[in-house]
Amino acid sequence: MQVIKYVFQPHGDDRGQLVALEEFKDIPFRIKRVYYMYDTGEDVTRGYHAHKSLQQILICIHGSCKIRLDNGKEKKVVPLEKPYEGLYVSNNMWREMFDFSSDAVLLVLASELYDESDYIRSYDDFLDYVKKISLTTTEEV
Ligand code: TYD
């Protein structure tokens, strides 16, 4: 599984750091929605879903957390601990977010508006879905 982590270029000077992100330039999709998580309990794991279409960039703009990515065949854990690093999470990717530091703020840039019908919230359904997709792709070739 290929993990795509963007390293954004901060505009640093003697006042501090500033990171600016533009759609299609720094972010590979149109940004339709922004949300963030904070005050996440240190023992909490959240996420536990995949999306059929949605793409996201996850940035831990303060503190740290870990992201488990799972494409149905392979799993990888990616630590996020720098405010200038963004993890790309494609569609059809199961994700779990955990190990949040008490000061963590996890910012999410999303390619679509909130749409519950885009979610796959059962892991078994996710495995069936990615199997079905890979069969369809194979048949098309
Ligand atoms: P939830 O999907 O449980 O978060 P996660 O799975 O990423 O841990 O979302 C928590 C609540 O927030 C849930 O009631 C849905 C709502 N929500 C919105 O209204 N808009 C959004 O863009 C998101 C991401 C969640």
Map out the domains of the chain as residue ranges: 4-140
Say whether pLDDT at 24 is over 70.
Answer: yes
pTM, 2 dp: 0.94
Cross-strand pairs, 110: 33, 56
47 close to ligand 1 (CB < 6 Angstrom): yes
49 close to ligand 1 (CB < 6 Angstrom): yes
Tokens of 121: 């919230």
Cross-strand pairs, 46: 97
Q: Tens digits of per-residue pLDDT, 34-63? A: 999 999 999 999 999 999 999 999 999 999
Cα-to-centroid distance, 4 and ligand 1 (Å) = 24
Question: Closest ligand 1 atom, CA of 33?
Answer: 22
Q: Tens digits of per-residue pLDDT, 59-95? A: 999 999 999 999 999 999 999 999 999 999 999 999 9
Specify whether the CB–CB gap between 5 and 87 falls below 8 A.
yes
Specify whether the CB–CB gap between 87 and 76 falls below 8 A.
no
Rounded CA-CA distance 119/19 in Å is: 30
As a CATH number, domain 4-140 is 2.60.120.10
pLDDT of residue 85: 98
Residue nearest to atom 5 of ligand 1 (CA): 47
| DSSP H/E element including 37 | strand 33-38
CA geometry: angle 13, 101, 69, nearest 5 deg:
95
pLDDT of residue 108: 98
